[in-house]
Structure 1
């Protein structure tokens, strides 16, 4: 099972973020899927798209994510990732700064029947966004 969870997790980051395939979100999440983030839970594919996916891609149209490491056991997989992009678009509630930004994070996912059931994500995204917001609004 570790190979399957590893492939699904890697597919998520590559297709959803790097290839901008929103349909993969619908394919791998269910209405009951929940991701526990630093800013609270995000539920289902629609919640993920509205709270994370569309705002981040609108603000960072060139966002690229690199999977740096993957560990899997049974129905769980942990992904260590990094991302870079230029804050050149709207989408976060403040004007673009044209600054390059880099993010780092870890996402832990529990998978059942090929779907992401529950995930826990921690990253420096909130800190980076606070810094960009302060600069944009200064």
Structure 2
């Protein structure tokens, strides 16, 4: 029998593969709680589910159509799943105002997701995206 810890990890792994890597909107809707809050949303961007999918499908995917996610480690405590991962791809489209460079991009991420009833309820995260953007401009 699968434990709650394993179920919560599976939810986060599914989100990373189906939503971030594949852009699957059906999976996104299935995995997001109606009251989801992204506690790390950039200033000016919605902190709800709409802001999260906008970033992945309207900003990240057009800039890196071959986007993939590598999960390095997951740690679970109660309903919180912490994931250390890399989001990678080839910079073949404009990314946050930076024209395509053809460079391989690797964004390191550590995020914490509160899973409630098998869905994303809250998210906190830190990424190396600012450093990656600086490197792309040089």
TM-score computed with the length of structure 2 as normaliser? 0.85
Which ranges of structure 1 fall in alignment gaps of 5 or more residues?
A: none
CA displacement at 1:91 relative to structure 2 = 4.8
Which residue among 12, 19, 24 is the counterpart of 1:21?
Answer: 24
Which ranges of structure 2 fall in alignment gaps of 5 or more residues?
A: none
The CA distance in 2 between the partners of 1:106 and 1:33, in whole Å, is: 18
1:34-58 C-alpha deviation (Å, 9 max, x unpaired): 1223734742322112234321011
User: Do 2:108 and 2:128's aligned partners in 1 also have CA atoms closer than 8 Å?
Assistant: yes
Secondary structure of the residue aligned to 2:113 is: strand
Change (3 A) 1:110 1:29: same
Which structure dedicates a bigger proportion of its chain to strand? 1
User: Do 2:41 and 2:47's aligned partners in 1 also have CA atoms closer than 8 Å?
Assistant: no
Runs of 4+ in structure 1 over 4 Å off:
none
The CA distance in 1 between the partners of 2:57 and 2:130, in whole Å, is: 14
Q: CA RMSD in A?
A: 1.9
Matches for 1:48-67 after TM superposition, within 5 Å: 48-67=52-71
| Matched residue count | 134
